[in-house]
Amino acid sequence: MKIYRFKHKGKINHGILKEENLHSVEGSIFRKFRVSKGKIPISEVILLPPVAPSKIVAVGANYKNHVREMGRQIPEEPLIFLKPPSSVVGPNDIIIYPKMSKRVDYEGELALVIKKKTCLLKDGDDVEDCILGYTCFNDVTARDLQLKDGQFTRAKSFDTFASVGPC
């Protein structure tokens, strides 16, 4: 099932795509929900990021060839970093290059959409029960700033540096 978040006639909603039409979700996508019978042609909506996240937890250096390409060592432990919610834009939105950067790169990533709190999980808990679904994620980086700073925060946190979706 493909769940979209969209804006139609000034209202934001989630919907399920059937053929070329969106059927609005009644209730929260994070719980049991119903799908309305009414339909809206997808051509009449503005596609938004699938969710409005409270935070984005990312794993860096997870692609060995890219790590080598950057001239770095492959880490023994996952390299975790955060991107702010203000960096999130929809799949058709423009990515704005910051004037202070001369080199902006992008990386296509697979994103997990989490549907419930995971901070209290223990070994053996069913992690898959916490996942709502998967989506496309464009992780944009001001690479020259990352190299200059030696860490990720500024280079990956500009507004529009996290294009997500469409579903």
Which domains does the chain carry? 3-48 (2.30.30), 56-164 (3.90.850.10)
How far is residue 100 from each of residues 41, 142, 144, measured CA to CA in Å?
41, 9, 10
Q: Give me Rg for the CA atoms of the chain.
A: 18
How would residue 97 be classed by pLDDT, with cut points 50, 70 and 90? Answer: very high
pLDDT at residue number 119: 80
More confident residue, 156 or 79: 156
Which whole number is the average pLDDT over 50-57? Answer: 93
Q: Would you say residue 70 has pLDDT above 80? A: no
* Burial class for 154, CB neighbours closer than 10 Å (0-12, 13-18, 19+): middle
- The structure tokens 């902006």 sit at 104
Q: pLDDT category, 60, cuts 50, 70, 90?
A: confident
In this structure, the strands spanning 21-26 and 11-18 are: antiparallel
pLDDT score of 134: 95
CA separation, residue 22 to residues 8, 27, 70, 131 (Å):
11, 15, 42, 22
- pLDDT band at residue 107, thresholds of 50, 70 and 90? very high
Q: Which of 86, 79, 87, 15 is nearest to 44 (CA)?
A: 15
Please list, residue by residue across 114-123, b when 16 or more beta carbons sit within 10 angstroms of its beta carbon and e when fewer do. Answer: bbeeeeeeee
- DSSP string covering 17-43: EETTEEEEEES-TTS--EE-S--EEGG
Q: What is the mean pLDDT of residues 60-82?
A: 84
